[in-house]
Structure 1
Amino acid sequence: MSGDYKLNPETLQELIESLHVLFSTDKVNVEEVQSVMENYKSDEDDWDKFAKYDHHRYTRNLVDEGNGRFNLMILAWGEGQGSSIHSHSDAHCFMKVLDGTLRESLFSWPSESEKRRAMNQIGVNDYQRDQVAYINDSKGLHRVENLSHSDSACSLHLYSPPFDSCKCFDQRTGKCATSKVTFWSKYGERTPFKPGGGCQSAVVEFEQPENN
């Protein structure tokens, strides 16, 4: 690994700088990334300007583009809002809860040989403030939800490599559709979706723990 990074970043900016160091080579260690993200303690003064809420759906708000190797974004979840069941387009996904509680429901991939069947749920995890979750497509699919009807929630997500579409699934039938993913805002400013805008990314090889 080239360069030094702060194992215990005190601010969001220090976390971003540490992530740039961790992603400065073609090989990245999953446990190192997860550890640095866990060690940053959430501070609303750091991330509040990026947390843009919408009454109708959760929002994806770009914080940093990671020199093409990753996207770092904040997802703002209003009361009762959640995602569909979705894949991650062969990317690595880290999710850190900044505020509130989020539930992750895990599902196995539907069988390609069966046309219509309810999806198999394989796990449920509840994540509190400062906890970090990790998933990739080899582990399965997931849905993330803010189950609270009185409190909003906020989370920090890192995707490597970046992607601009993923597969979404109907839990009742397993039916799959490709969905475009867009940013509600970039760097704290509202950014309307512009058709035709893809994301270019570098290829990064991840080192996985042997027991994963």
Structure 2
Amino acid sequence: MSREQMSSTETVAAVGATAGYGLSGLVERLRRMAGPPTFGELNALLTGVEVTADELRPYVSFKEGTYARHRVHLGPHAELLVLCWRPGQRTPIHDHAGSYGAVRVLRGVMWETLFEMEGAEGLLYQSGREWTPGHVTGADVPDIHQLGNPDVSGRDLVTLHLYAPPLASLNVYKVGRTESTSTLWMNSWNPTI
């Protein structure tokens, strides 16, 4: 498993991207790609984007009971989403079933819990960490984690997610189990796409 936190302009420059483009500029870069972006390019693209409140507004709405997913772009090589979380909302423990991804915190605080499959012991807690606005975190395949808004003060969380290839499904896990317990197909399970 390869996990990275990226937030430097050196990372952006390393893949030939220019820092300072907006959400529409990011979508245009994704449309022009001849093939799937590399793991490093995913992280660099989210590191370089500067999302304005006006650009973000059409994608920010919340649901009660579960977080909301709003698709910004779906192409043959990548998918870009804005996720909106009320306090206490979180994903199931999951992997990305062959896709790799990057997440940038736009507003609020995101909690990420990492898990590792340990043979006969099954899925075990590995570590947890908190991400604040501007931070980009990414995970190569395989990665089993859970994301959420741990905030108890009532603050909402808004995150930007970039996946390559586009998410087809998620495998869901439970601690102590040696294999996934179910599969969520993204064309049928999609809180507010």
Match of 1:14 in 2: 25
Partners of 2:42 and 2:101 within 8 A in 1: no
Cα shift readout 1:126-146 (whole Å, capped 9, x = no counterpart): 1111211111333x3000010
Select the residue among 145, 155, 162 that pairs with 2:159. Answer: 155
Match of 1:49 in 2: 58
Q: How many residues align?
A: 174
Cα shift readout 1:63-119 (whole Å, capped 9, x = no counterpart): 1112x11111111111111111101011011111111110111101253xx4xx563
Select the residue among 89, 93, 101 that pairs with 2:97. Answer: 89
Question: Higher helix fraction: Structure 1 or Structure 2?
Answer: 2
Cα shift readout 1:179-207 (whole Å, capped 9, x = no counterpart): 23333444xxxxxxxxxxxxxxxxxxxxx
* Structure 1: tracts of 5 or more residues without a match: 187-212
Match of 1:77 in 2: 85
Aligned pair in 2 of structure 1 residues 177, 185: CA closer, same or farther (>3 Å)? closer
- Write out the 4+ residue segments of structure 1 that deviate beyond 3 Å after TM superposition: 172-175, 182-186
Report the Cα offset of residue 55 of structure 1: 1.0
Partners of 2:26 and 2:49 within 8 A in 1: yes
Question: SS where residue 86 of structure 1 aligns?
Answer: coil
Q: Percent identity?
A: 20
Question: SS where residue 29 of structure 2 aligns?
Answer: helix
Distance 2:69 2:181 in 1: 22
Q: CA RMSD in A?
A: 2.1
Partners of 1:65 and 1:72 within 8 A in 2: yes
Match of 1:130 in 2: 134
Verify: 1:183 aligned to 2:187, yes or no: no
TM-score calculated relative to the size of structure 1: 0.73
TM-score calculated relative to the size of structure 2: 0.80
Q: Map 1:133-148; keep pairs closer than 5 Å.
A: 133-138=137-142, 140-148=143-151
Q: Computing the radius of gyration over CA atoms, which structure comes out larger, 1 or 2?
A: 1
Question: SS where residue 117 of structure 2 aligns?
Answer: coil
